Chain A
Amino acid sequence: MRKFWCGFFIFWPIAAVVYSAVSPQFNWWFPGPSVTELGQRIDNLFYLILIIVTAVFIGTQVALGYVLWRASHSKAERAWFTHGSHNLEVIWSVVPSVILLFLALYQMDVWALFRVQSFFPKEALNAPVAEVTARQFEWRIRYPGLDEHGVPKKLHLKPQPDDLYTVNDLHVPIGRPVMINLRSDDVQHSFFLPHLRIKQDAVPGQIIPIWFKPERQGNFDLACAELCGWGHYKMRAQLIVEREVEFQAYLQKLRADQNYDGHATPSAVAKKDE
């Protein structure tokens, strides 16, 4: 029985490590590489912590298994009488604290880039692309209106008559930093873009800016990550990253749809029938 239990405490960490190692093959891992460079830096920090943590995990579990095996197979009449070792205590206090301090300080600049406004790219900070308002249980999106050249105007904090509205469908241009103003209409929500490694709570009474620079075209999931009621799970929306021209065309179509008064011109009808 001794052998069984010693094996048991050695077997499970091995199983855990093997399981973790094969997980990416089974797609039990990140939903693809990050769409933003900042997200890739977050992934890199994750892998750095993962390496350190795996080393410590293996080290401590092996040590535990070893001392269990030694202690359960002890032939000595008496256990080793010791109250500890001052030197060991010093070593295993100082070494982890250096590693931990390094880990903490090493994280700071990514956090600052993500969240501290003075680190935001200036072009994004000055021209938010859209305002996203979370409410039970949908994402309302407000783009600024377009001027006579079809160029988006400045997004005002208060709604303007020519603003463009849509729900659960956020379009952004690729390749430049974009900023979103996040708000909530009712309770707390959280704006979660898993493929971009972005999450930010929407807090009632606050407007919180988020910026990101998407580098890959495509449709990505937008989900709510803060409990907001029974329909929390179904706040499903999409983020569509497209080329600048497509984005501008999208806004113009949005304007056309919004201004559509029911009296369709023949050309528009023909277009619809196609």
Chain B
Amino acid sequence: MSATGVALEHGHDHDHAHGAHGHHELSFVKKYVFSTDHKMIGMQFLFTTLLMMMVGGALALGVRWQVAFPWTSMPLFGPLFAESGGQISPEFYTMLFTMHATVMIFLVIIPVLAGAFGNFLIPLMIGADDMAFPVLNMLSYWFMIPAIACFGLSFYFGGAAAGWTAYPLLADIRAAAPSSGSAQTFWLLGVTFVGVSSMMGSVNYMTTIINMRAPGMTLFRMPLTIWAMLITAILQAFALPVLTAAGFMQVFDRLDFGGPLEGIHTVFFIPAGLVVNNADPTVGGGQPLLWQHLFWFYSHPAVYIMLLPAMGMVSDMLACMCRKPVFGYKPMVFSMSAIAGLGFIVWGHHMFISGMNPALGMTFMLSTIMIALPSAVKVFNWIGTIWGGRLQFNTVTLYCAAFISMFIVGGLSGIFMAAVPVDIYFHDTYMIVAHFHYVVFGTTLFGVFAGIQFWYPKMFGRKMNETLGKWHFFLSFIGFNGAFFPMHMLGIAGFPRRYADPYIHPYLEHLMPLNQFITVSAIIMGFGQFLLLYNFGTSWFLGEKAGRNPWGANGLEWSAPSPPGHGNFDVPPVCYRGPYEYSNPNNPDQDFWMQTDPPKSKKKPEGDAGHGH
């Protein structure tokens, strides 16, 4: 079926907000629950991830409370664990940071980018009526539910507490920790379900982007968001199977049914002769470092899965807000590809001091440091995009500018840990915590906040409130930097990660006040997120009504109604030019030139207009 077939049939059905697919009205369940419409699936992902973000944030506040005020009863959340007097026990603390990372990575960052924005934007931006495989798409959302259920069961059994990296043998041997029983098995199954969901999305995105572009939408006329989604999908497709396989290997190592069935008891990661917590000595011949290699072979590319789509989205938003083409479109595409390519050969930098061959440390250092190059090129191009633009400080602009500013910090702090000798000292300290929060929160999540504000009118037909948006930005930014910038100093002071009570170590005693400052900032940031939820919820009914193209943007999605009906486009879109023809002097009427606007003159202005030349 052609991408535009449905839209052609119903071309007369102009501003009918939904149900343009006039054959029959879909039942409530088909329309809102088991929907195969990419927009509804995208919004389901968005709601789920926003909810999970609050859960993950609450877990983080538990962690922060313990580090700042160890062994005191926690206000507000304390009654939830009243049996310990509202106090966070060390077992509970290890569970808190493990589940915080798990929820934030697997249930927030990855699904909000690929799941929510990927689903919502890909067909709209390339001019397709839906994804290539709508049912697969629906399943990719519904596989998130067993994943959440498995993580929930993990909580029920005490919560996985071996870190989100689940390093054997702590995660592999039941006797190793109170949480290493069923909680860890369910955690592994949860990660597997997330993996299945991601893989379904990935296959779908690749097929859709490659096969279903509207006429005229050549690869180098695709918005950078779509490039980022394509590259991300490829990363997922090649990296994820390794994690899934490794996860099953760990499950097989662990499975113990008891009774005559005994269990599987492979020993992929278990060496022989270990006496863990006075249990029987292990029998084996496995290698714990194998897990680290397999895990990071997925999880390092996953870092870029958590970053690239946000980079693409910010490029699009920034161009629109500055009324100016993206500076260096092709270099942006090539640097994203370079980041993705190099992303496959840097996993060992998580393992510099793990005991692997030291010669590998040198090669991984070289590749890791070189990945800073495409990142730097991207930063320069974003600054170049703003350079000479005409800018208004709305919420989207603020988040995009903060995105660049925070990415500079996160990128530069990465150099310290990419350098092996310096990493000897910084490994597993708060320097690492500061670094990846600057990348994953300061960069990705700020990009997501901008994206929510920017594409909200397309999702719901109304704009979000600007004043609330700016307050949310202000609180998030102040809280974020207050929380994470001082963590660099903690890292330099040698403050290790994952300590329930660091202050029993004499060299860390004096760092408690700094940690209390960090926790107060984190609380400000955490509660600031309610503003986002409030704004998100109320703007649905109270927001200023938005037309098709409230921002004066160029993309194909802005030629569809807001919100687009089933089948997306009322007029089959044809793409005539690149996505960033803002302020083009050949178009004197307005300072944007939509990709769908037919060319005015016969002088062939629709060419790629010298992208990157």
Q: Which residues of B contact A197 (CB under 8 A)?
A: 424-425
Say whether B428 contacts A82, CB under 8 Å. Answer: no
Complexed CA–CA distance, A83 and B402 (Å): 23
**Chain A, 29-46, CB within 8 A of any chain B CB:** 29-31, 39, 41-42, 45-46
Q: Which residues of B contact A225 (CB under 8 A)?
A: 427-429, 496-497
A78 in contact (CB, < 8 A): yes
* Nearest CB of chain A from residue B595's CB, rounded to whole Å: 15
Q: Which residues of A contact B585 (CB under 8 A)?
A: 78, 81
Say whether A71 contacts B328, CB under 8 Å. Answer: no
Contact of B416 among A49, A79, A114 (CB under 8 A): A49
Say whether A78 contacts B354, CB under 8 Å. Answer: no
Say whether A70 contacts B388, CB under 8 Å. Answer: yes
Say whether A16 contacts B275, CB under 8 Å. Answer: no
Complexed CA–CA distance, A135 and B177 (Å): 13
Identify the closest chain A residue to B424 (Cβ).
A199
Contact of B421 among A27, A111, A230 (CB under 8 A): A111
Say whether A203 contacts B289, CB under 8 Å. Answer: yes
**Chain B, 359-378, CB within 8 A of any chain A CB:** 359, 361-362, 365-366, 369-370, 372-373, 376-377
Known contacts A28-B493, A225-B429; decide if A186 and B611 are in contact (CB<8 Å): no
Known contacts A186-B169, A206-B355; decide if A89 and B499 are in contact (CB<8 Å): no
Known contacts A9-B401, A12-B405, A104-B366; decide if A60 and B355 are in contact (CB<8 Å): no
B408 in contact (CB, < 8 A): yes
Contact of B277 among A23, A108, A111, A136 (CB under 8 A): A136
Which size class do B's interface residues fall under?
A: 35 or more
Q: Which residues of A contact B524 (CB under 8 A)?
A: none
A115 in contact (CB, < 8 A): yes
Say whether A80 contacts B583, CB under 8 Å. Answer: yes
Say whether A92 contacts B405, CB under 8 Å. Answer: no
A74 in contact (CB, < 8 A): yes
**Chain A, 173-232, CB within 8 A of any chain B CB:** 184-188, 190, 192, 194-195, 197-201, 203-206, 208, 221, 223-232
Known contacts A67-B387, A111-B358; decide if A185 and B370 are in contact (CB<8 Å): no
Known contacts A82-B325, A100-B373, A229-B176; decide if A63 and B383 are in contact (CB<8 Å): yes
Identify the closest chain A residue to B167 (Cβ).
A188
Q: Which residues of B contact A50 (CB under 8 A)?
A: 416
A122 in contact (CB, < 8 A): no
* Nearest CB of chain B from residue A92's CB, rounded to whole Å: 5
Known contacts A84-B331, A86-B613, A185-B274; decide if A71 and B401 are in contact (CB<8 Å): no
Say whether B401 contacts A64, CB under 8 Å. Answer: yes
Q: Which residues of A contact B496 (CB under 8 A)?
A: 192, 223-225
B52 in contact (CB, < 8 A): no
Q: Which residues of A contact B390 (CB under 8 A)?
A: 71, 74, 76, 78-79
Complexed CA–CA distance, A71 and B320 (Å): 13
Say whether B504 contacts A233, CB under 8 Å. Answer: yes
A57 in contact (CB, < 8 A): yes
B511 in contact (CB, < 8 A): yes
Q: Which residues of B contact A80 (CB under 8 A)?
A: 324, 387-389, 583
Which interface residue of A9, A39, A67, A84 has the most chain B CB atoms within 10 A? A84
Could you give, for residues 565-609 of chain B, a 1 whenever the CB lies within 8 Å of some chain A CB and a 0 otherwise? Answer: 000000000000000101111000001000000000000000001
A260 in contact (CB, < 8 A): no
Complexed CA–CA distance, A84 and B271 (Å): 56
Which interface residue of B355, B366, B418, B477 has the most chain A CB atoms within 10 A? B355
Q: A57-B408, A79-B389, A104-B366 given; name 17 further pairs at CB < 8 Å.
A: A16-B481, A28-B511, A28-B514, A49-B415, A61-B405, A63-B383, A72-B392, A81-B325, A89-B331, A89-B377, A93-B377, A188-B169, A192-B496, A199-B425, A203-B354, A231-B90, A236-B504
Q: List 16 A-B contacts (CB under 8 A).
A: A41-B421, A46-B416, A46-B425, A53-B412, A79-B323, A84-B326, A84-B331, A89-B612, A107-B420, A188-B170, A188-B288, A199-B428, A203-B354, A225-B429, A230-B94, A233-B501
Residues of A at under 8 Å CB distance from B?
A: 1-2, 5, 9, 12-13, 16, 19-20, 23, 27-31, 39, 41-42, 45-46, 49-50, 52-53, 56-57, 60-61, 63-64, 67-68, 70-72, 74, 76, 78-86, 88-89, 92-93, 96-97, 100-101, 103-104, 107-108, 110-112, 114-116, 136, 184-188, 190, 192, 194-195, 197-201, 203-206, 208, 221, 223-234, 236
